[in-house]
Structure 1
Amino acid sequence: MKKQVLSIAILFCCLTIVAQSKKELFSVNKKPVSVSEFKRVYEKNLGLVVDEDSKNIDKYLDLYINYKLKVNEAYSLGLDTVRAYKRELEGYKKQLIAPYLQDQESINKMVKEAYSRIKNEVKASHILVRLPKKATSADTLKAYNKIIEIRNRVVSGESFAKVAREMSEDPSAQFNGGNLGYFSAFKMVYPFEDNAYKTDLQGVSNPFKTRFGYHILKVTGKRESKGEFEVAHILARDRSIVGKAKIDSLYKKIKKGESFEEIAQKYSEDVGTAQLGGKLPKFGTGKMVEDFEVNVLALKKINEVSKPFKTKFGWHIVKLLKTYPINSFDKMKVTIEKKVKSSDRLRVSQKAVLDKLKKEYDISIYDKNFEIFTNKSIKELSKMQLTHDNLLSINNKKIKQKAFFDYIRYRRKEDIGLLFEGFKNEEIFNYFKEDLVNKEPEYKHTLTEYKEGLLLFELMQQKIWKKSANDSIGLQRFFNKTKGNYKQKKLEDIKGEVISDYQKKLEDDWIKDLRKNNVIRIRKRELKKLKQIYNQ
C-alpha cells in the first residue's frame, strides 16, 4: 500500500525544480503552482494513463488540485514532525544521497583495474604489526617503527618465513610463515590487494596500513587466472601409510575402469560429498588449501583424474568435471561495479569527491580557537563553555568549538590532529549533503516525491484506511444504502468489495470538505492557453 501512495506522489511531483516559467496556473491557500510544473507532470504521465478521460486537462487539473490539498492537509496536521516519519525519511535520504558521494570516474577506473586483477592472480606472504582500534599517535609511531625494523631484516637477507614466524602478529604466521597463497581482486582488503599487485615478483613492499595495522608483504608468485572449477574427490582421512594404502587401492580401481562416482559413494570419507559421487561446489583460487588447488590446476582435460595426493585433511583423488573461464569485461562489468560500490574500494571514490569539494569550497580553520584542544584534556574541556567560538567555516557555514568537542568526547586516546581531520571531512560532506537541494534539481525533486509520498501514506491511513477497516457500523450503514449495487446481498460475502467502495466514498466526502475549507484559485487565462497547447 505504501508503495502505491509513493507512486502517486511520484506521478504528481514536478520533473525538475527549476521552473521554465513562473506563470501561475492555480494556488492553494496562496501557495502557487506554476504552469510549467503542471505541464511537466501532465506530459510525464500521458503515456501512463490508460483512461482517455484522464488525459482531459480539466480532469487532470482536478486530480492535481486534490493531490495538493492532501499534501497541504498533511503538513497542517504536523505529520512531517512525527518521529517515525522523520526516521523513515532519513533512511530514504541516505539512499538518495549515496550516488552523489561517489566519483564515477574513479569507480570506472577501479572496475577496469579489478577485472584485470580477476584475470591475473598474485601469491604473497605478509607480516603484520597490529594497531589498536583507537590508536594514539604514540601507538602508531611504535607500530610503524617496528614494521620498519622487520622490513630491514627481510631486505638484509633473512628468510621472510622465518621473520614472519618470529615477529608477525597474525596468528596464522606460526604455521604458514605468512604465506597467504594465491588470490585475486576482492579477496583481501583493498590496500593489501593494491600493494600486492603493485609489488614486483620476489619484491618486498614498503610498509602500508590497513584497518588491522601495518604490513609488509613479499610477492612470491604471479599467474593468469584459470577461472573456477567443478571437481569430485575421494578422501581417505588417515594421513599415515594406512590411508595411503587405501587411496592407492581406490586409484587402481579407477584406472581399471570402475566408476569414480560409485567408488566415492562407497569409500570416500568426506560425508558431505560421498553420496554426491564426491562432487564439490564450484570454487576458484583461494577457496581450497593450496595442496588441493595445485593438483586441481594440474588437470588439463575434463574427466581427467589426478594421482593420489596428500593435504592436511588426508589423502585425495580428484576428478575434473567442468571449468568456468573468466568472462569478458562486458559481461562482468555490472557485477564488478556492484562489488566495487559495496567494498572498501568505495572509500577511494569518496576520497575523490572529498578532494574535489576541498578545492571547490572556501574552507577556513580558526587556528587560535583550535589551540585549546591541543593543550587541554577532555575533562578540562568539559568544564569550559565551548559554544560560541568558531572553529571551522565552509563557505558561509560556521562550525563551533562545541561541535568538535562533541565529536571527540568519547575518543580520548586518539590523536587530536587526526580527529580534527576526520571531523573536518565529515563537516565538508555534511555541508555538501545540505547544499545538494540547491545544486541538484533531480535530487530535490526525488526527495520531494518521497517526502510527500510518506506524508500521504500516513494521511490516508488516518483519514480513510483505518476508518474503513474499524468502522463496522459505518460500513454496514453504507452497504444497506448501496445494497442494490451488488449481486450478493450479504455483506460478509462481498466484504472486500464493499470496503473498497466505502473507502472511495469516504475519500470523496473528505475531498469535498478539503475544497470547502481551503482557498483554491485557478488562473482561467493560463488554463485556456494550456488547453490550446494540447488542442482541447
Structure 2
Amino acid sequence: MKKVFLGLLLALNFVSYAQNNPKEVLFTIDDKPYYTDEFERVYKKNLDLVKDESQKDLNQYLELFVGYKLKVNKANKIGLQNNVQYQNELRSYRNQLSKNYTSDSKVTSALIKEGHDRLQKEIRASHILIMVDENASPEDTLIAYKQAQEIRNKAIAGQDFGKLAQEFSQDPSAKENLGDLGYFSSFRMVYAFETAAYNTPKGQISKPIRTRFGYHIIKVNDVRSNRGEVAVAHIMLMNNKEGATPQSIKSNINDIYKKLQQGESFEELAKQFSEDKSSSTKGGVLNKFGSGQLSSQEFEDVAFSLTKENPISQPFQSQFGWHIVKLIDKFPIKGLEDSKAELENKIAKDDRSRLITNSLTEKLRKKYKVKRDDKVYASVSKLVTNDFYEGKWETPENTKDYSTSTLFTLDKKPVTADQFLVFIKSQQKSGIATKPVSKLVDVLYAKYVDEQLNTYYNSNLEDEFPEFGAVVEEYRDGLLLFDLMEKEIWERSKTDTLGLKAFYETQKDKHKWKTRLDVTTASSTKQDVIKKALAMMKKGNTADAIKGKLNTKDVVNVMISDALLEYDAPTLPKGTKAEVGFSEIIKQGDYYFVTNVKKVLPEANKSFEEAKGKIVNEYQQYLEQNWVNELRKEFQVKINKDVFEKVKNKLAN
C-alpha cells in the first residue's frame, strides 16, 4: 500500500528545473514559507494523472496543496519524523535515488557499450598464473612479475604453452587442463584478465597481466561469434556407476534413445531413468547457459548444435557420463538497448565498478579543496605500529586531544584526527600490507580522504542538485503523510465500528440495490443442447442432473450457474426480463443462453455489511475533510493572493 501511495512521487519531471525560474512565497503555515516553484512543479507533474477534473482547477488544487502541507506540519509537530522505521525508509529511498548522482554516467555508458561489444565474440584462451597477493610488497611483486616474464619468453621462443602451464602455472587446474580455460565472453573473467584476452590477437601471447590473483600470461587460441544462451533438457547415465560396466551403461543409454525414436516422451524417460537428480524430477530441464558456464565443453557443443528440425541429440559421452540432450530454446545476444539494464547490474558487481568510482573520486578531488595539517598528520603517523599487519593494533588510550585536532579541512569542513584513527583500526582486515608503516599510513590516508570526499558529496546532493533535493523532500513528506494518515484516518475508519455505523445511517439512501434477479443461467455453444437444457429445466431437473445428461467425460456441452444479479449486470444475458419465469433462447456471440428467473427483488437500500466497502472509503474522506478543517484552526495559514493570481496566469498560458 505504501508503494502505491508513494508511486506518484517518482513521476517528477526533472526538466522543469533547468530553467531556474524565480520563486515567490505563495503561502505560509505558521510563518513557514511555501514557494510558487514547488506548487507549479507538483501541479504540472500531476496534471495528467488526476481523474477528478475538479482537481485540475487551480483554486481547488491550491486547497488540496495547502491541506497536504498542513498534514505534513502536523506529522512533524507530533514527532513522526523521529520514528526509526521512518528514518530507515527515507534513508533507503534516498540511497536509491542518489545512485544517479554518485556514479560517472559517461564512464558507465562506455563500460556498457564495451561490455556489449565484447559479448558479440567468444574467446578460447589458455593461461599461466604466477600467484602474488594483491597487497604484496613491491619486492615480492617484482619477483612474481620476473618469473611470469621468463615463462612468457619461453613461450614466445616456441615452447609448448600447455606444457609450460602444466609445469609452472600455480592454477591447480592447469595440471589437468594444461591451462585451457575454454570459451568465455565478457563478465565471465575478472575485468583485467578479460581486457587482456580481448586485446590479444588470435594465436598470440599477452604480456604479464596483473589481477588480484597474481600475474597471468594469456594465449588466445580461438575467437568466434557468441552463440548466446541455450535451454535444454537432458537424460544422463553416470560413468563408473557401481555394479555397472561401461558396456552396460552405453547399452542402456542406447535403449533409452530407441524409446525416444519410437515416440516416447523425453520428459517421462528423464524422470524414470536420468541419474542427474537435480533435473530428473523436472523432466531433465536445466537452467539456460552460455559458452563456458558448464564444466563440459562436449555437452555445451552438442547443446548448441541442436536445431528445431533436429532437436534431440544422439547419445554422447562427457567426463560425467552418457547424455541425450533435447533442445528447448535458443536465446541470441540482445541488442544494446535491450541489455542496458542487465549490463549495468553486472558492472555494479564487477571489477569495472572501480573505474566508475575512481572517475567520480577524481572529479571530486578537483571540485573540493582538501588542506592537511602536516603536524597533526605526522603526530598521527607515529601512533601506528607494525601490530597493524597482524590485526592487533589498537588506537592509543590517550587520544582525547585528537578529537579536537583538525587533520584536514574538506571544503571548509573540519575532519578530526580521531576519526582517521578509527578508520585505520577498521582497515586491519582489508589486506593492505604496504611497508614500511609510514607508507602504509600514506596509503590509508589517501583512501580515507577519498572516502570522505564521496561521503561529503553525497551528503550535499540536495544543495548540488535542486531536482534531487525536491524529490527527496517529496519522499520525506510522502512517508510522513502515509504514517500520519494511517494513524489518524485509515486505522480509525477500520476500527471505529460505532462511528462507521452511525455514518452509514446518514448515507444509506445513497447505497441502493437496483432491481435484482435470483436467476439460473444455462449456456452452450450448441443450439440443440441449450434446447434440451431448457426442456429439462422446465421439468424441474437439477443442474447436476442436466449436466450429467448433456455433458460427457471428455466434452462439456453445457454450463449452469445460479446467481443474484442486478438487472443491468453485464453477466446477465441481454434480453432477460425482470419477471419470474423462463426466457426464450438468447444468442450472444458464439453462445446460446436460457434463464430461469426464480425471484425478482425490488430496489432496496444495501445493508451495512453489503455497503461496507464503499462506506469505509467515504468515511475516510469524511474524517479527512473534517480533520483538515481542524488543522486549519490549529495552524495559521496565510495565502498571498496577488502571487497566486500571477501563478494562475502563468499556468494558463
**Normalization by structure 1: what TM-score?**
0.84
* Alpha-carbon distance in 1 for matches of 2:28, 2:300: 72
Q: What corresponds to 1:228 in structure 2?
A: 229
1:442 is aligned to 2:463: no
The SS at the match of 1:90 is helix
Distance change >3 Å, CA 417–CA 170, structure 1 → 2: farther
| Matched-pair contact (CA < 8 Å) for 2:119–2:186 | yes
Per the alignment, residue 518 of structure 1 pairs with 635
Q: State which of 284, 308, 318 in structure 2 corresponds to 1:311.
A: 318
3-state secondary structure, aligned to 1:219: strand
Any idea what the Cα deviations from partners look like across 1:364-395, whole Å, max 9, x if unmatched? 33333222343323435343222122223222
- Structure 2 counterpart of 1:285: 291
Amino acid at match of 2:636: V
Change (3 A) 1:141 1:476: farther
Judged with a 3 Å threshold, the aligned counterparts in structure 2 of structure 1 residues 190 and 482 are, in CA distance, closer, same or farther, namely same
Of the three residues 355, 358, 379, the one matched with 1:351 is 358
Instruction: Show the 5 A alignment for 1:272-421.
Output: 282-288=288-294, 289-294=296-301, 303=310, 310-316=317-323, 324-377=331-384, 378-379=393-394, 381-385=396-400, 386-412=402-428, 414=432, 415-421=440-446
Q: Distance in 2 between matches of 1:456 and 1:371?
A: 51
Tell me, in whole angstroms, the C-alpha distance in 1 between the residues paired with 2:25 and 2:459: 29
Measured after TM superposition, the shift of residue 204 of structure 1 is 3.9
Maintained 8 Å contact 1:19/1:36:
no
**Alpha-carbon distance between aligned partners in 2 of 1:491 and 1:297, rounded to the nearest angstrom:** 65
CA-CA distance at 1:499 after TM superposition: 2.6
Q: Residue 348 of structure 1: CA displacement?
A: 1.6
* In 1, Cα distance between equivalents of 2:484 and 2:328: 60
Write the letter of the residue equivalent to 2:364.
L
CA offsets per residue over residues 130-182 of structure 1, 9 Å max, x none?
677xx7654x7536633543443453357655565566554434433443221
Query: CA offset at residue 453 of structure 1?
Result: 0.6
Asked if 1:125 corresponds to 2:141, the answer is: no
Query: Counterparts of 1:464-479 in structure 2 under 5 Å?
Result: 464-479=489-504
Letter in 2 for 1:366: D
Structure 1 residues without counterparts, runs of 5 or longer: none
Q: Deviations over 1:393-451 (max 9, x none)?
A: 22222211122112122333634333222211111111111221122121111111111
- 1:454 partnered with 2:470: no
Q: Distance in 2 between matches of 1:276 and 1:410?
A: 48
**Cα gap change, 1:383/1:478 in structure 2, threshold over 3 Å: closer, same or farther?**
same
Q: In structure 2, what is the equivalent of residue 103 of structure 1? A: 104
Normalized per residue, the structure richer in helix is 1
Task: Give distance in 2, aligned partners of 1:11 and 1:245.
Answer: 66
For 2:408, what is the secondary structure of its paired residue? strand
CA distance in 1, matches of 2:193, 2:75: 52
Is this contact kept in 1: 2:132–2:214, CA < 8 A? Answer: yes
Contact 2:102–2:360, Cα closer than 8 Å, also in 1: yes
Deviates more, 1:498-507 or 1:145-154: 145-154
Find the residue that maps to 1:354 and give its secondary structure.
Answer: helix
Q: Closer, same or farther in 2 for the Cα pair 1:13/1:271, shift >3 Å?
A: closer
Q: What CA deviation, in whole Å up to 9, does each residue of 1:231-258 have, x standing for no partner?
A: 6666553469953686489779979x94
Aligned to 1:44: 45
Contact 1:102 1:353 survives alignment (8 Å)? yes
Secondary structure in structure 1 of the residue aligned to 2:418: helix
| Equivalent-residue separation in structure 1 for 2:281 and 2:644 (angstroms) | 76
Q: Which residue of 2 aligns with 1:34?
A: 35
Structure 1 residues 124 and 13: CA distance shift in structure 2, 3 A = closer
Q: For the Cα contact (< 8 Å) 2:253–2:322, is it kept in 1?
A: no
Paired position in structure 2 for 1:21: 22
| Equivalent residues of 2:395, 2:422 under 8 A apart | no
**In structure 2, do the counterparts of structure 1 residues 383 and 192 end up closer, same or farther at CA, with 3 Å as the change threshold?**
farther
Q: Is the 8 A contact 1:302 1:321 kept in 2?
A: no
Residues 1:93 and 2:91 aligned together: no
1:101 partner amino acid: T
Q: Does 1:80 align with 2:197?
A: no
What is the CA-CA distance between 1:461 and the residue it aligns to? 1.8
Alignment CA distance shift 1:447-1:18 (3 Å): farther
- Alignment of 1:115 with 2:122, yes or no, is no
Letter matched to residue 152 of structure 1: E
C-alpha distance in structure 2 between counterparts of 1:161 and 1:66, whole Å: 76
Bigger CA drift: 444-453 or 363-372? 363-372
* 1:29 shift after superposition: 1.1
Whether the 8 Å contact between 1:150 and 1:167 is mirrored in structure 2 is no
Residue 450 (structure 2) aligned to one of 425, 434, 438: 425
Deviates more, 1:430-439 or 1:524-533: 524-533
Residues of 2 paired with 1:473 and 1:494: CA distance? 15
Larger radius of gyration between Structure 1 and Structure 2:
2
State the SS of the aligned residue for 1:20: coil
Farther off after superposition, 165-174 or 412-421: 165-174
Q: Is the 8 A contact 1:21 1:36 kept in 2?
A: yes
1:155/1:204 contact within 8 Å kept: no
Give the CA deviation at 1:330. Answer: 4.9
Q: Where does residue 574 of structure 2 map in the other structure?
A: none
The runs of 5 or more residues in structure 2 that have no matched partner are 385-392, 433-439, 513-604
Task: Give the secondary structure class of the aligned counterpart of 1:379.
Answer: coil
In the other structure, the counterpart of 2:619 is 502
State how far apart, in whole Å, the 1-side matches of 2:263 and 2:111 are. 44
**Residue aligning to 2:190:** 189
CA separation of 1:145 and 1:338: change in aligned 2, threshold 3 A: same
**Which is further off, 165-174 or 215-224?**
165-174
- How far residue 75 of structure 1 moved from its aligned partner, in angstroms, is 1.7
Q: Are the equivalent residues in 2 in contact too, given 1:28–1:520 (CA < 8 A)? A: yes
State the shift of 1:126 in Å: 3.8
Query: 1:232-247 to 2 correspondence within 5 Å?
Result: 235-238=236-239, 243=246, 247=250
* Structure 1 position 321, deviation (Å): 7.6
Q: Looking at both structures, which has the greater relative contact order when contacts are Cα pairs under 8 Å and sequence separation is at least 6?
A: 1
Q: Answer with 69-78 or 315-324: which moved more.
A: 315-324
- Specify the SS of the correspondent of 2:181: strand
Distance 1:275 1:76 in 2: 60
Paired with 1:492 and 1:233, the residues of 2 have a C-alpha distance of 57
CA distance in 1 between counterparts of 2:94 and 2:256 reads 65
Q: Contact 2:229–2:290 (CA<8 Å) still a contact in 1?
A: yes
Shift in Å at residue 5 of structure 1?
A: 3.6
Whether contact under 8 Å (2:257, 2:324) holds in the other structure is no
User: Are the aligned partners of 1:147 and 1:215 in contact in 2 as well (CA < 8 Å)?
Assistant: yes
Classify the secondary structure of the residue corresponding to 1:99. Answer: coil
